[in-house]
Structure 1
Amino acid sequence: MFLKTILSIFLIILFLFPTGKAQAGELAERLADFTKWEKLTSVKTAEGDLIYPNWMSGTWKVTSTLVDLAAPLAPDIVTPGFVGNRSQINQPVSFLVRFIKVKQPISGLKNIHKQENKSEILVADRVFNSLNLSRAYLGDEAVIAVKPDPKSPNRQITFFGGERQLVSLVTARTTENTADGKFITAEVFQQYFKGGSRAYFNTVESTTAYYQTPTLNPKIAADQVTAVYLSPQDPDYFTAGSRPVALYRYRLEFFPQ
């Protein structure tokens, strides 16, 4: 049961991670075609952190609501927790997130004066966001800590009671800016849960379209679809092929704090 709950949580929203741009309209079309997904092929290897638009800067109260889900290969293949997740439809969950400005080297400039040759970029506060998300679902006592890899912004470990851990590694990503002002991201990452009766691996793709709303409540909204793919270690891997075994669609609302 704990494994099912953990996997359900980390399919919702991962502010962890622009290298590479999608072909014009590809991600927007993908979001519109919710139940016919296959593995995204236009992503590039994840390097550095994901840069968000400045209008997402600050601290936000996010309300995440599961609005739809599908298991394209059911009843033959169903992921842990999928059936239980049906009870989460239209049940909003709220938590705080923040996006912060950090310095990064300016490409093409010689690194003589290190501070002067850096520009500000907006990134997600990965530890703060992931910790708040997991505690919103499991409670403060269940989640001990979230630790980033000091060598890579694309890897982090969440520690739970009972010496259980969830390791998340972003392997590829792409972004897209649409004519109507949406900022769309797609990230592919590996999940490894260990510490229970057995280890569990899978591959997850999360595609999110962020956009500003005409009102202040919420000021930003997002449409998110998360697809779960089997890892090569799964006995059904070749049966599933490039098709996802679970799809989750969320409505995200951002309220300024």
Structure 2
Amino acid sequence: MKFTLTLRIICNFCLIIILLLGWSKQASAGELSERLAYFPQWEKLTSVQPAKGDLIYPEWMAGTWEVKSTLVDLAAPLAPDIVTPGFEGNRRQLNQPVSFLVRFVKERFSKTNAARSPTAGGTPSPFTSLKLTPQTISTNIVADRAFNSLNLAKSYLGDEAVLSVKVDPDSPNRQITFLRGERQLVSIVTARATETTPDGKFITAEVFQQLFKGGSRPYFNSVESTTAYHQLSTSSPTIEADQVTAVYLSPQDPDYFTAGSRPVALYRYRLEFFPNNINPQKNRASQIN
């Protein structure tokens, strides 16, 4: 039970920043912003497209940031019939800020196979063998996924619980979080969309599958994370964001058909981004072996 609860906590909280990946399709005008406004009246998002490549962020998100994340609301739309095991425990996180570092960097990709990775670099991934191919740095801004994921996971689970995060060098849509006790969280982004509002907000919606390995049996679920970023006129904070994470049952769950297209858990966060000028060569997330 302790193992399952720990992995459900990872599922709920590693959605804030770590999976900012993938190619995106512009959503129809206002659809994503309206979705945030209708919280908690949600069903599965249907306007997303298959995830390919990396999500390109606005230039104003480039750099290293200290993020203060606060869970401000949560809902279990199908309670009391269906409630996820970690839901009531997560209620204790309400209005309790958690801080961690993230960074957004210029995109680096191979000239020969176009396999993409952030400029932060890293050690070979367990997904494939290391390919020594020429690399080019573009002007596109992408998330440093391994760095962001590792920092976020450690902020919630502790330094000793999380070993490393590896991103597939051939696909930024696949990553593995390695935990103590030979446990793993495999996350695969399957679809996404973006929207830019008239008042300058940059909104992303991502859908992905998660697999928890290392317990008595594997556990699957499906997650959607919708985030609206807004650059502020002040420097403290510089960026704020409104994020909603929706957890859906996977087809392997016995309650899958009962839940249908409705989420079984919803979490709403307020994110605040403060500039942080650390040495980018330090604390490389993927250097842990």
TM-score bin, normalised by smaller chain: over 0.9
The one-letter amino acid paired with 1:148 is V
Contact 2:106/2:138, CA 8 A, preserved across alignment: no
- SS state at 1:252 partner: strand
Contact 1:104/1:120, CA 8 A, preserved across alignment: no
The one-letter amino acid paired with 1:161 is R
1:207 aligns with 2:226: yes
Identical aligned pairs, as a percentage? Answer: 73
For residues 68 and 85 of structure 2, the distance between their equivalents in structure 1, rounded to whole angstroms, comes to 24
User: How far is 1:196 from its partner?
Assistant: 1.2
For residues 162 and 8 of structure 1, the distance between their equivalents in structure 2, rounded to whole angstroms, comes to 17
The one-letter amino acid paired with 1:162 is G
For residues 203 and 61 of structure 2, the distance between their equivalents in structure 1, rounded to whole angstroms, comes to 13
Matches within 5 A, 1:56-205: 56-103=61-108, 119-205=138-224
Decide which of 232, 250, 273 is 1:254's aligned counterpart: 273
Task: Report runs of 4+ in structure 1 exceeding 4 Å deviation.
Answer: 103-106
The one-letter amino acid paired with 1:2 is F
Contact 2:246/2:263, CA 8 A, preserved across alignment: yes
1:14 aligns with 2:33: no
For residues 151 and 253 of structure 1, the distance between their equivalents in structure 2, rounded to whole angstroms, comes to 31
Contact 1:157/1:166, CA 8 A, preserved across alignment: yes
For residues 185 and 135 of structure 2, the distance between their equivalents in structure 1, rounded to whole angstroms, comes to 35
Decide which of 37, 43, 46 is 2:42's aligned counterpart: 37
Task: Output the TM-score relative to the length of structure 2.
Answer: 0.83
Label 1:120 to 1:236 Cα distance change in 2 as closer, same or farther (>3 A).
same
Q: Deviations over 1:74-129 (max 9, x none)?
A: 011011200101110000000000000014699xxxxxxx989x742100000000
For residues 160 and 79 of structure 2, the distance between their equivalents in structure 1, rounded to whole angstroms, comes to 35
Q: Deviations over 1:178-215 (max 9, x none)?
A: 00000000000001001012211100000000001222
Label 1:195 to 1:104 Cα distance change in 2 as closer, same or farther (>3 A).
closer
Contact 1:71/1:247, CA 8 A, preserved across alignment: yes
For residues 209 and 61 of structure 2, the distance between their equivalents in structure 1, rounded to whole angstroms, comes to 26
The one-letter amino acid paired with 1:225 is V
Task: Output the TM-score relative to the length of structure 1.
Answer: 0.93
For residues 206 and 194 of structure 1, the distance between their equivalents in structure 2, rounded to whole angstroms, comes to 22
Aligned length: 249
For residues 2 and 14 of structure 1, the distance between their equivalents in structure 2, rounded to whole angstroms, comes to 23
User: How far is 1:3 from its partner?
Assistant: 2.8
For residues 160 and 8 of structure 1, the distance between their equivalents in structure 2, rounded to whole angstroms, comes to 13
Task: Using the TM superposition, name which of 13-22 and 75-84 deviates more.
Answer: 13-22
Contact 1:104/1:121, CA 8 A, preserved across alignment: no
The one-letter amino acid paired with 2:29 is A
For residues 255 and 43 of structure 2, the distance between their equivalents in structure 1, rounded to whole angstroms, comes to 16
The one-letter amino acid paired with 1:67 is V
For residues 135 and 256 of structure 2, the distance between their equivalents in structure 1, rounded to whole angstroms, comes to 48
Structure 1 unaligned blocks of 5 or more: 107-113
1:222 aligns with 2:236: no
For residues 66 and 2 of structure 1, the distance between their equivalents in structure 2, rounded to whole angstroms, comes to 23
